[in-house]
Structure 1
Amino acid sequence: MTGDRDVTPLTRQRALATIQVVAEAVLAGEPALTYSELARRLGMTKVNGQGLKSYLSEAAAICAERNLPNVACMVVSKDSLDQGAPMPSEGSFSDGLYAASGLTREAIPEEQARVRSFDWRAMPDLGQ
């Protein structure tokens, strides 16, 4: 169910896959994923991370609908990950909010902690 959102089947499929990929990364102990790494794991031909915005936004909406931690905040810039402070790219913030999730920059570390502490093994089947 996508509520009033008008998303394509591909966007929906890749958003669900994004949740799965992030959950698997967290379970494997990865601190976060870069945009390019998510693109690669989604099987996208452009692995520079361009084109992920709609998938991350839909993944965030699905997480909200299903009362799951917001996985979109786990997809971060390579520089921030390398510095040990994973944060979405500067360009993904608008008016102080992370566009894909509606979180403020200050709220992202707390939401990342929620994602990391969530029991993804018990996650219900996401379905399609």
Structure 2
Amino acid sequence: MVILCLVLLFTVQVVYSLPAMEILTTNTSGNHSSVDCKICLSAFSVLHFAITDPYWKQVYEMILAQMCTLLSPGFVKTMCTDLGATYLQQALTLISDEVQPEYLCRGLKKCKTTGKLYWNPKESEGHWGK
């Protein structure tokens, strides 16, 4: 119950601190309400946080290590441990870099905007150029 309350509080905090709040203010066209967009962004932002936060990455490593210890000794157990140590961090990093809450919610048609939804490095100032 305590964990559920903490998740709820975190979700509410994420809703009001999203960098994509411009999406919510421009989401006036179409059949999708800004409430749907807020809920979608909140849910995927919590999941994105759980994938990117260093603490949770360590938790996932410990869970995988514990799961590997349940396997019978031998090749499969060794392979589980080696692959987990090698590829878990890479997989989490790839997922967190490539899958953003804004992309998912727009793909699910929960968020629509009349303006610019995504950051484009080619259009920004700095070393990306124009």
Return the TM-score normalized by structure 1.
Answer: 0.28
**Greater relative CO, 1 or 2 (CA 8 Å, sep 6+):** 2
Select the structure that is richer in strand: 1
Whose radius of gyration is greater, 1 or 2?
A: 2
Q: Relative to total residues, which structure has the larger helix share, 1 or 2?
A: 2
Normalised by the length of structure 2, the TM-score is 0.28
